[in-house]
Amino acid sequence: MTLPDSPAQTPLTADTVMRYHLCWKHRDLDGVMALYHPDIQYHDYFQNRVLGYDELRDYVRASLPHQAGEDIVHCDRIRVDGCTAFIQYQVTVQGGDGLVAFQSSEAITVKDGLIWRINEYATLLRRTPRDSQASGPRPATSRLGLSARQLSTMAQDLEHYFQAQRPYLDPELDLQQVADDSGYSRNQISYLLNQVLGQSFYRYVNQARLQHLMAKLDNASATAPIDELAFDAGFNSLSAFYKCFRNHTGLSPKAYLKQISLRART
């Protein structure tokens, strides 16, 4: 179907797309849905799937930023020509070894004042702390059922789950338990950790355990031996604890405690 694409259509398209942008920015699910045409086709090329109107509410709900401080940062002004608009945006989250950037662009077609077609193209970019791009875009995750926006939300959900529930205190914690508790699949969590955040499941868990232990040491609230504190934090072997501790601090536990003691006396 060919839509009228005259210069007179441009301001109408710009108004519709700007309202769409603001609804995303303000996490307005109903506002986003109200701007979709009943016959909309949403082409998510990251997942290699096409969604109709009836599927989009759950998709948008999962993709909207969930917490304060999260945002979709637009990389360029919204460009409009006739009935078509083009948006570029980026979401950045903190990964295990640097920043992880999700970059997307959308070609939006407007019909009768509503959004009739969206073609979304997204890539995952790994960036080091020096802001140099690593090995390039990660493979598409269509089999995992996650868009680029949803992957950034998933990273925040996983962090919030670990902070609120503290599952790492269980020395027998495994990937399946995290999947059951968080509502994501094993494959989705494994992909997020290994391919996006750049770390294994057990490294992610042990870092959470170490942060728990370090908070006690730094607050001078620990009276038990450090080995006992390690087991209380969920470590199931001292060798794993010592390795994790040294990688994080550059010191052995004994040397670190001596350093704390010297600081306390000065």
Q: What is the pLDDT of residue 219?
A: 67
Q: What is the pLDDT of residue 128?
A: 46
The pLDDT confidence band at residue 238, using thresholds 50, 70 and 90, is very high
Q: Is the pLDDT of residue 30 over 60?
A: yes
| Cα separation values, 129 from 74, 98, 114, Å | 21, 5, 41
The pLDDT confidence band at residue 130, using thresholds 50, 70 and 90, is very low
Structural domains in the chain, CATH included, are 9-144 (3.10.450.50)
Q: Is the pLDDT of residue 20 over 70?
A: yes
Q: What is the pLDDT of residue 197?
A: 76
Question: Taking residues 160-187, what's their average pLDDT?
Answer: 92
Give the strand pairing for 36-44 and 114-127.
parallel
SS (H, E, C) the chain: CCCCCCCCHHHHHHHHHHHHHHHHHCCCHHHHHHCEEEEEEEEECCCCEEECHHHHHHHHHHHCCCCCCCCCEECCCCEEECCEEEEEEEEEEEECCEEEEEEEEEEEEEECCEEEEEEEEEEEEEECCCCCECCCCCCCCHHHCCCHHHHHHHHHHHHHHHHHHCHHHCCCCCHHHHHHHHCCCHHHHHHHHHHHCCCCHHHHHHHHHHHHHHHHHHCCCCCCCHHHHHHHCCCCCHHHHHHHHHHHHCCCHHHHHHHHHHHHHC
Question: Taking residues 16-26, what's their average pLDDT?
Answer: 88
Which amino acid type is present at position 100? V
Question: 79 versus 95: which is more confidently predicted?
Answer: 79
% pLDDT > 70, the chain: 76
